[in-house]
């Protein structure tokens, strides 16, 4: 078999695929964070916990109601979105007039509460979630073996990410969102109900996290701490891409996932820190992030 720089291609492409899958989750999660930050100016520390809640909801729907993967792919994000609406309306909303730090602290507290509840109920050992029948198995691409479910996760995440990007950058509703991000007072003075838009934006952003959770359930196990493990890297991704930049979140998420995969092949010792090294470098050279605008 051909070797690339002494690495068997199976291993290389296998790691790249893993990287791409991680990257898909980074992209979905940082996209939600970026949308929320742009509109609410809140660093949503509860994002990882709501990703976990999305995965748990899928698992609960399956084990308690016999509702399978496909309906859960719609239901769980909707439920997470509804939780988000409730949180925004009852708590976050009260904090817009004070320093943004309070929003960060509140959502951090909420994350701890969500994780605490699920840990208390289900312990820290993971719950397995089966791959849906339609996506079982895989195909041999010649240079590597592609498990169908993983291919699906990458393709579907990309679709959702670029669909979101299109909706924000190219549609009328997106124009409202961009305008309200820039100058909510004026958008309101044109007769648009901005507080409702803000709630829906938060709901949508966390629904994306819930969706990522459902997608992750069959790959990783469903575990109360799955969110907090991932979210630290996702925040680094957001910092690198630039707070509030939609395209930046997507591209950086995928790119860093791939880069992590490559590092695992060529220099495994650095795989866990490569994202943070890049973050430090980017912060030194371009503090607003690769795609960010100076505020």
Partner 1 sequence: MPDGSITKTAMLEVGDLHAFYGESHVLHGVSLDVRQGEVVTLLGRNGAGKTTTMRSIMGIVGKRRGSIRFQGQQLIGMAQHRIPRLGIGYVPEERGIFSSLSVDENLTLPPVVKPGGMTVPQIYELFPNLKGRGSTQGTRLSGGEQQMLAIARILRTGATLILLDEPTEGLAPVIIEQIGVAVRALKARGFTIVLVEQNFHFAATIADRHYVMEEGRIVDMIPNDQLHANMDKLHTHLGV
What residues line the site for partner 1 (CB under 8 A)? 172, 175-176, 178-179, 181-183, 185-194
**Beta bridge pairs of residue 7:** 4
CB of residue 170 to partner 1, shortest distance in Å: 10
Of the chain, the end-to-end C-alpha distance in Å amounts to 52
* CB 154 to partner 1: min, Å: 29
Nearer to partner 1, 274 or 290 (CB): 290
The residue among 45 and 194 lying less far from partner 1, judged by its C-beta, is: 194
Cβ atoms of 37 and 248 closer than 8 Å:
no
Closer residue to partner 1 in complex, CB, 64/97: 97
Least gap, CB of 162 to partner 1 (angstroms): 18
Does residue 8 sit in helix, strand or coil? coil
Q: How far is the CB of 247 from partner 1 (least distance, A)?
A: 12
User: Rounded to the nearest whole angstrom, what is the least distance from the CB of residue 181 to partner 1 in the complex?
Assistant: 7
Minimal CA–CA distance to 238: which of 44, 18, 19, 40? 44
Residue with Cβ nearer partner 1 (141 or 189): 189
Sort residue 28 into left (φ over 0), alpha (ψ -120 to 50) or beta. alpha
CB of 176 to partner 1, least distance (A): 7
| Residue closer to partner 1, measured from CB, 179 or 262 | 179
Facing residues of 140 across strands?
145
Distance in angstroms (rounded) separating the CA atoms of residues 32 and 90: 20
Beta pairing partners, 147? 138
Residue 184: CB atoms within 10 Å: 17
Return the number of the residue (64 or 170) whose C-beta is nearest partner 1: 170
- Per the CB < 8 A criterion, the answer to whether 157 and 24 are in contact is yes
> Pairing mode, if any, of strands 145-147 and 138-140?
antiparallel
- For partner 1, the closer of residues 113 and 175 by Cβ is 175
Q: Which is nearer to partner 1, 78 or 179 (CB)?
A: 179
Shortest distance in whole angstroms from residue 185 CB to partner 1: 6
Residue 187 CA, chain-centre distance (Å), reads 28
Q: How far is the CB of 183 from partner 1 (least distance, A)?
A: 6
| Distance, CA of 49 to CA of 112 (rounded, Å) | 8
Task: Output the CA–CA distances (angstroms, integers) from residue 258 to 19, 22, 145, 146, 225, in the order listed.
Answer: 4, 8, 17, 16, 24
CA-to-CA distance for 8 and 149, rounded, in angstroms? 23
């Amino acid at each position: 078999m051909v070797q690339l720089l002494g690495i068997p291609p199976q291993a290389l492409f296998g790691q790249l695929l893993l990287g791409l899958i991680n990257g898909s989750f980074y992209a979905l999660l940082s996209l939600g964070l970026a949308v929320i930050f742009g509109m609410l100016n809140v660093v949503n520390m509860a994002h990882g916990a709501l990703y976990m809640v999305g995965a748990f909801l899928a698992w609960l729907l399956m084990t308690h109601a016999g509702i399978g993967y496909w309906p859960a792919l719609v239901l769980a994000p909707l439920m997470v979105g509804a939780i988000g609406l409730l949180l925004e309306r009852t708590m976050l909303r009260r904090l817009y007039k004070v320093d943004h730090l309070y929003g960060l602290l509140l959502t951090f507290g909420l994350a701890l509460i969500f994780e605490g509840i699920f840990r208390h109920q289900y312990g820290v050992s993971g719950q397995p979630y089966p791959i849906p029948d339609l996506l079982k198995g895989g195909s041999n691409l010649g240079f590597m073996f592609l498990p169908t479910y993983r291919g699906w996760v990458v393709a579907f995440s990309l679709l959702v990410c670029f669909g979101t990007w299109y909706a924000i950058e190219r549609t009328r509703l997106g124009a409202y969102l961009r305008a309200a991000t820039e100058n909510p007072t004026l958008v309101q003075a044109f007769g648009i109900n901005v507080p409702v838009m803000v709630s829906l934006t938060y709901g949508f952003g966390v629904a994306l996290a819930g969706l990522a959770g459902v997608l992750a359930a069959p790959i990783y196990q469903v575990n109360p701490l799955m969110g907090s493990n991932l979210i630290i890297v996702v925040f680094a991704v957001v910092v690198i891409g630039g707070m509030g930049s939609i395209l930046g979140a997507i591209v950086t998420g995928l790119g860093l996932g791939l880069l992590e995969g490559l590092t695992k092949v060529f220099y495994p010792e650095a795989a866990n820190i490569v994202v943070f090294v890049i973050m430090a470098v980017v912060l030194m050279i371009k503090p607003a992030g690769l795609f960010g605008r100076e505020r």
